[in-house]
Structure 1
Amino acid sequence: MNYFKKTSPFINLLVLFLIVNVILRIVLLFHPITQSSFAITEIIKIFSFGLLSDVLVFMVGSAFLWLYLLFLSDSKYDKPTGYIIFGSMLALLLYVTFGNTILNEYGGSAPEVAIIFISLKTMLFGLMLFLPTYRKTIRLVLYYITIFIFVLVIVQNAISEFFFWNEFGVRYNFIAVDYLVYTNTVIGNIMESYPVIPLFTGVGLITGLFTYFIVLHTKPFLNNLPSFNDKLKVLGTYVVLFVLALLTIPLMAKQEKSDNIFTNELQANGIYKFYVAFMNSELEFDKFYKTMPNDEAFAVLQKLHPGISAQSALQTINSDSTEVRKNVVLITIESLSEEFMTAYGNEKKITPFLDSLAEQSLQFTNLYAVGNRTVRGLEAVTLCLPPSAAESVVKRTDNKNKFSTGHVFKQKGYTVNYMYGGDAFFDNMQDFFGGNGYAIVDKKSFLPIEITFANIWGVCDEDMYNKAIKVMNTESSSGKPFFNHIMTVSNHRPFTYPEGKIDISGKSKSRDGGVKYTDYALKQFFKMAAQQPWFKNTVFVILADHCASSSGKTELPLDKYRIPAFIYSPGFIAPKHHNTLMSQIDLMPTLFGLLHFDYQSKFYGQDVFSSQYQPRAFVATYQDLGLIKDNVLTIISPVKQVKQFALSVETKPNVKPEFQSDYEEQPMPTLREDLVKETIAYYQTSAYLLKHKKLNQ
């Protein structure tokens, strides 16, 4: 079989991959950060198990190479097959270019990328079909490009693993996954930290050299393509090897159980470690962040939360008044930055209803979102915890039976729903909310007649609110109070919505249009709700899940975390501006305080009207964990780094003092150790309690 001979590109690339990884292991073994000695048995294990892991990972990773090689053929250009294929490709190109595909519905650059890719494939196939004399030359050029790409991936991955080890002393973990999320920041950091031009030039030259020798050595394969029968045989062989590799790779990973952490890391394959990090989405706090003894961390936490005792978050919340069992509707609005609202300085008047509603509500004018993803906002208002390192609890496997706001309501006899206009399978919402006792109302619950408009994210907000009204009417007839958490979707790219509702066309796909339609739909919801018998006995909590953008000049730009939040309940809660610094995790405990609930709590969030409340807020990315307190921003980061910034307001004209949200973040040369300890205590103890399942119901 040509595919397994020494002239096969598969064999040549496999050999290159193995050689590069052996060299990489040797370099990492002697790297100054690898502060460990190794027994001869450990070195044998590192290189033998490592080599086998590399072979298995390549077997899986080479699937795209096999597809390319299997489709190399001369017979597909014969008549009439070649013309049928070419005609089909042309038809697909016309459809994608002029038709209304799902790519157009989503927006962004996806349609352009698809058109360019299909155009190139069609053009190249046409050239090889109609210019048979140049077919071998064209194929050789394309073969060079293909081999170059595969070699580049191998070389670039080795270089990336070296720099990652140079910084963190481990193979890829969730920080590497995080780098894909914050691409602009990472590229900027690379540009500033390393000699980019010489580095990339070197990578290009090495890749080009390896590509030249591989192509030269494998030309016999290209000039003597296997027959169709040979391809079927080799495909069957490869499928068996592929499945075997898939099953064996996790077993190899389980052999990484040495007491010497460096042995485990060197033995591992970095690409598989990246995959595991992507799937598990966790960073071990104790390993990557500055810590203190657990007893000391919990002692600090107890000073901040006097009701807590021992190594737990359990505390008793008592009210001095009779409980009020009003219905509660929590609406988390997608990407509603404070900057969209008039009070914070926006002059476009794109939130007229929210502006009006806020002034009729208890408005929290100094509240910060914990993160910059929807799952972070959902985690904050549901679990009331500081943001966890790496991925949100919502997307983790251990995300069920947690102590949640829904659990408190259920203890009080409420029906509890999570309502989402899209498919709750997205972002693991169904698994999280369903696993924590919420009934799910999502797009799958809608009848066709209930959907007037939908895009890639789900039904428009008006349709979701119409459905919510129906559900709440049914719930109210049961005589039980209800708690319904509604998550909106319309203020999200592609920003499409029904025409004729606002003065900005949905076809413009603009952020301003998305915001204004979101505001319009909310107004329609309150118009309908006001006509329902349960309205006067209902408290409405409205806030953003996160801001529309998180990029800024600093690691945690505070203006990108400040969000609008208010509680509306005419006749029950008086309108007021509350300017005390607070976090997204405090909103629901504050609501419980307003309802005078007595309950056993495991929340880190607090009632901001309590005499024990100490103003502070949490802000974070996937790896930078921050605490705002006393006009200081403290940030703890991987590799046990700590930074502090003094905060001073940068005043915006024509904006009231309580709505000023821009801060200059000035690095502090001397750290305030008390705030460093508080920051570590908050994040370390919450990570410990989550890990040991002490925040479960």
Structure 2
Amino acid sequence: MLIPRLFPSRFRLLGYFISIFLVLSSLVRIALLIWSFSNVDTSLFKLGNTLLIGFLYDIGTVSFFALPYGLYLLLFPKKWVGSVVDKGVTYFAYTLGLIIFMFSFLAEFTFWEEFQRRFNFIAVDYLVYTYEVVSNINESYPIPLLVGIILVFVIALIVLTKRKGIFKTTFTSTNTFRQKLVPFVVIVVIAAIFGLFVKNESAEFSENRYNNELAKTGIYSFFAAFQNNELSYTDFYKTLPVSEAFSKLQSQFVANGDQLKFPNKNSIYRTITAKDTVPAQKPNVIFICIESLSAEFLKTLGGEDFTPHLDALAEESLFFTNVFATGTRTVRGMEAITLSIPPTPGRSIVKRKNNQELFTIGQVFKEQGYSRNFFYGGDGYFDNMNTFFGGNGFDIIDRGRGFLLDASVKTKRTNIEDDEVTFENAWGVADVDIYSKVIKEADKAHETGTPFFDFVMTTSNHRPFTFPDGKIDVPSGTIREGGVKYTDYAIHEFLEKAKKKPWFKNTVFVIMSDHCASSAGRQELDVKNYHIPAFIYNVQGVPSQKIDKLASQIDVFPTLFSLLNWTYDSNLFGRDILTMKPSEERAFIGNYRKLGLLKDDKVMVLGVQKKANFYSWERATNELMPLPEDASFLKETISYYQVADYLFSNGGLQLKTVVLDN
């Protein structure tokens, strides 16, 4: 190989190590390219840039790995070269490096299968929650086989290296300090350039997302995500004067009939007055947040025939056909639903610091006299859920094997006991089991006479898609279709059992997905893969109907509050979908870096480096077609996201700021 020859004999093994990484990383890139070939821009220029940029990122990545051993080679005394210590350090470092490379390359294929992306902040989070992730991998893939493959490759490479005499060359070298300094300086310079001046997003040269992802290197992307899982909106995105941004949103709320409490402050805190003269209803509310249920899984939304029970329920509910999730992860959906807020850049507020004692929909329920409960079939320490919900006034019902991550959170906690579980996988108990717990707790709450709000997070529609046998016509643990069908089955069973309870008539059921099963696409934001179903079922006096208005996840609970004829104080961004005029219909979609506003089948996408791109969304083909910039649309988009970030960053979502101090 050419690269080892560029290094003096003492650095020969390091050069060989670099060559192995560059070859294997290139092969991984080519394999992923072939895997996603139909989505890649294969024009000669774009394809060439993808491979060239990718190779440069490979060089930058491997320079970081080469740096510590290069320093060792430079400073290790010449008289001890080839000693037991030298051989021990070298063999250990070489083996460890190969294991890391082989593991990361193999992991990239599983990550790409799920997300069609290089490693990002999701992979960083997965590293934190090792129990769930390792268990999930163990249930989804043949771990002994994969480990065996890694070990076989590592051993084979070590044997090949030895046979080529590279170890011997390294251990018998007589290179001087000056000879060793040259390659070390080269490594330092490359690492410094990539560490100080090259960002992961610099690889994004194309409008095609797949080309951009393939141009990156997985390990480099992982560490970039580790460092940058929170982004400052004002530093990275287009902004307006703060007063102008707030003024734009305040004027919308006032036009809707809301009364601003502090019109001269940077605030959206306001009073929403019931428009009907009939008495307010205070039914129990059970919200089912369904894991990864895309609109494409429902036949009634033009998709597959996987959910006959939900399709039937659509005929008996207020069924919202044009609702879009704000993000691509469960915590992003939880953020949107509970805080009724557009997505903020970086990680979800659910996982950030200072995310307790916020103004949430739970506060609205509290003011109406409700108890509040968060149900999760796994351990709610995962993704910081217990800390977030417990710190915002919810009692916790979960598997109970973990702890609240923040000791300052004081809340009631109830365990799902072993004798209440019929089936469990890495993520938690089967949906039927969590629903059984919901019914049990609802029976207890009914006896007290206090209305309750239950937030129920399901888990079964998630890889490895395992569930109790004999319930549906798809074997457990095979394909996503099985997870979807079991989810549909479990909801039907739950509602049938609930109908037999004395509290059913006075209980409203809200059902909505946290996000879609996949967010991958060629575009900056794949709009179709944010489309989710939403139901409001069993509101007394409200006839069933299909609502085709464009809306967001953040609007569903404000719509429910309106249906129940509540007058309440609000710090929520969401609006009553039913009263939206066509010009007011909009949806927020985003990932951890891109922030989009969808209106009239047009999309404005805000990106880092203060970029903004405007598109027409072709629903039939799911393509984004570039449009000239629309200044008014851009300002509206900025105002939503800038105000959301401003409120969180400056304490404007805190109860003590919003309610108590005013």
When normalised by structure 1's length, the TM-score is: 0.66
Residue 490 of structure 2 is aligned to residue 528 of structure 1: no
In 2: Cα distance, 1:642 partner to 1:376 partner: 22
- Give the match for residue 320 of structure 2: 364
2:244 aligned to which of 292, 296, 306: 296
- Give the match for residue 164 of structure 1: 198
The 5 Å alignment of 1:185-264 reads 188-189=211-212
| Distance apart, 1:301 and its partner CA | 1.4
The 5 Å alignment of 1:621-660 reads 621-650=591-620
In 2: Cα distance, 1:116 partner to 1:351 partner: 39
1:667 aligned to which of 615, 622, 626: 626
In 2: Cα distance, 1:535 partner to 1:683 partner: 39
Residue 449 of structure 2 is aligned to residue 479 of structure 1: yes
The 5 Å alignment of 1:406-417 reads 406-417=362-373
Residue 363 of structure 2 is aligned to residue 330 of structure 1: no
| Distance apart, 1:593 and its partner CA | 0.7
1:286 aligned to which of 188, 210, 234: 234
- Residues 1:521 and 1:611: Cα distance change in structure 2 (over 3 Å): closer
| Distance apart, 1:304 and its partner CA | 2.0
- Residues 1:71 and 1:325: Cα distance change in structure 2 (over 3 Å): farther
Residue 605 of structure 2 is aligned to residue 605 of structure 1: no
- Give the match for residue 591 of structure 1: 560
Whether contact under 8 Å (2:562, 2:576) holds in the other structure is: yes
| Distance apart, 1:102 and its partner CA | 4.3
- Give the match for residue 297 of structure 2: 340
In 2: Cα distance, 1:71 partner to 1:497 partner: 53
| Distance apart, 1:406 and its partner CA | 1.0
TM-superposition CA deviations, 1:512-557 (whole Å, max 9, x none):
0110011111111111111111111000000111111111231112
Whether contact under 8 Å (2:314, 2:535) holds in the other structure is: yes
In 1: Cα distance, 2:210 partner to 2:188 partner: 20
What percent of counterpart residues are identical?
Answer: 41
- Give the match for residue 94 of structure 2: none
- Residues 1:154 and 1:436: Cα distance change in structure 2 (over 3 Å): farther
What letter is aligned with 2:148? I
- Residues 1:691 and 1:533: Cα distance change in structure 2 (over 3 Å): same
- Residues 1:140 and 1:686: Cα distance change in structure 2 (over 3 Å): farther
TM-superposition CA deviations, 1:100-130 (whole Å, max 9, x none):
x9466431475543231244567899x89xx
- Give the match for residue 55 of structure 2: none
442-451 or 603-612, larger mean C-alpha shift: 603-612
| Distance apart, 1:191 and its partner CA | 6.1
Residue 462 of structure 2 is aligned to residue 492 of structure 1: yes
- Give the match for residue 692 of structure 1: 650
Whether contact under 8 Å (1:460, 1:490) holds in the other structure is: yes
The 5 Å alignment of 1:463-474 reads 463-474=433-444
- Residues 1:463 and 1:274: Cα distance change in structure 2 (over 3 Å): closer
The 5 Å alignment of 1:46-65 reads none
Whether contact under 8 Å (1:316, 1:599) holds in the other structure is: yes
- Residues 1:675 and 1:70: Cα distance change in structure 2 (over 3 Å): farther
TM-superposition CA deviations, 1:625-656 (whole Å, max 9, x none):
11112331111111111111123442xxxxxx
Whether contact under 8 Å (2:87, 2:171) holds in the other structure is: no
Residue 273 of structure 2 is aligned to residue 318 of structure 1: yes
1:393 aligned to which of 320, 343, 349: 349
- Residues 1:633 and 1:449: Cα distance change in structure 2 (over 3 Å): same
What letter is aligned with 2:268? A
| Distance apart, 1:421 and its partner CA | 0.8
- Residues 1:626 and 1:103: Cα distance change in structure 2 (over 3 Å): closer
In 1: Cα distance, 2:566 partner to 2:590 partner: 30
| Distance apart, 1:398 and its partner CA | 1.8
1:382 aligned to which of 312, 334, 338: 338
In 2: Cα distance, 1:301 partner to 1:60 partner: 56
- Residues 1:303 and 1:572: Cα distance change in structure 2 (over 3 Å): same
In 1: Cα distance, 2:171 partner to 2:426 partner: 37
Residue 379 of structure 2 is aligned to residue 423 of structure 1: yes
- Residues 1:626 and 1:141: Cα distance change in structure 2 (over 3 Å): farther
| Distance apart, 1:615 and its partner CA | 1.0
In 2: Cα distance, 1:568 partner to 1:70 partner: 71
TM-superposition CA deviations, 1:187-217 (whole Å, max 9, x none):
612767xxx9xxx9xxxxxxxxxxxxxxxxx
What letter is aligned with 1:464? I
In 2: Cα distance, 1:527 partner to 1:143 partner: 74
RMSD: 4.2
In 2: Cα distance, 1:621 partner to 1:474 partner: 40
In 2: Cα distance, 1:522 partner to 1:493 partner: 19
- Residues 1:527 and 1:155: Cα distance change in structure 2 (over 3 Å): farther
Whether contact under 8 Å (2:604, 2:637) holds in the other structure is: yes
337-346 or 307-316, larger mean C-alpha shift: 307-316
In 1: Cα distance, 2:370 partner to 2:68 partner: 53
TM-superposition CA deviations, 1:400-431 (whole Å, max 9, x none):
11100111111211110111111111111111
Partner secondary structure for residue 666 of structure 1: strand
- Residues 1:681 and 1:110: Cα distance change in structure 2 (over 3 Å): farther
| Distance apart, 1:343 and its partner CA | 1.4
577-586 or 106-115, larger mean C-alpha shift: 106-115
Residue 506 of structure 2 is aligned to residue 537 of structure 1: yes
Whether contact under 8 Å (1:281, 1:396) holds in the other structure is: no
- Residues 1:466 and 1:118: Cα distance change in structure 2 (over 3 Å): farther
Q: How many residues align?
A: 512
679-688 or 610-619, larger mean C-alpha shift: 610-619
In 1: Cα distance, 2:150 partner to 2:198 partner: 32
Residue 389 of structure 2 is aligned to residue 433 of structure 1: yes
Whether contact under 8 Å (1:341, 1:350) holds in the other structure is: yes
Whether contact under 8 Å (2:10, 2:169) holds in the other structure is: no
- Residues 1:609 and 1:570: Cα distance change in structure 2 (over 3 Å): closer
In 1: Cα distance, 2:642 partner to 2:541 partner: 38
TM-superposition CA deviations, 1:565-600 (whole Å, max 9, x none):
010006443110111111110001111111111111
- Give the match for residue 683 of structure 1: 641
What letter is aligned with 2:481? D
Partner secondary structure for residue 690 of structure 1: helix
Residue 75 of structure 2 is aligned to residue 116 of structure 1: no
- Residues 1:103 and 1:316: Cα distance change in structure 2 (over 3 Å): closer
522-531 or 304-313, larger mean C-alpha shift: 304-313
Partner secondary structure for residue 505 of structure 2: helix
Partner secondary structure for residue 365 of structure 1: strand
* Structure of greater Rg: 1
What letter is aligned with 2:515? H
In 1: Cα distance, 2:316 partner to 2:473 partner: 25
The 5 Å alignment of 1:539-578 reads 539-569=508-538, 571-578=540-547
Whether contact under 8 Å (1:283, 1:390) holds in the other structure is: yes
- Give the match for residue 179 of structure 2: none
In 2: Cα distance, 1:437 partner to 1:378 partner: 15
- Give the match for residue 456 of structure 1: 426
- Residues 1:370 and 1:118: Cα distance change in structure 2 (over 3 Å): same
In 2: Cα distance, 1:110 partner to 1:141 partner: 37
Whether contact under 8 Å (1:418, 1:440) holds in the other structure is: yes
When normalised by structure 2's length, the TM-score is: 0.69
| Distance apart, 1:689 and its partner CA | 1.0
In 2: Cα distance, 1:71 partner to 1:345 partner: 65
Partner secondary structure for residue 482 of structure 2: helix
Whether contact under 8 Å (1:104, 1:111) holds in the other structure is: no
In 1: Cα distance, 2:427 partner to 2:642 partner: 35
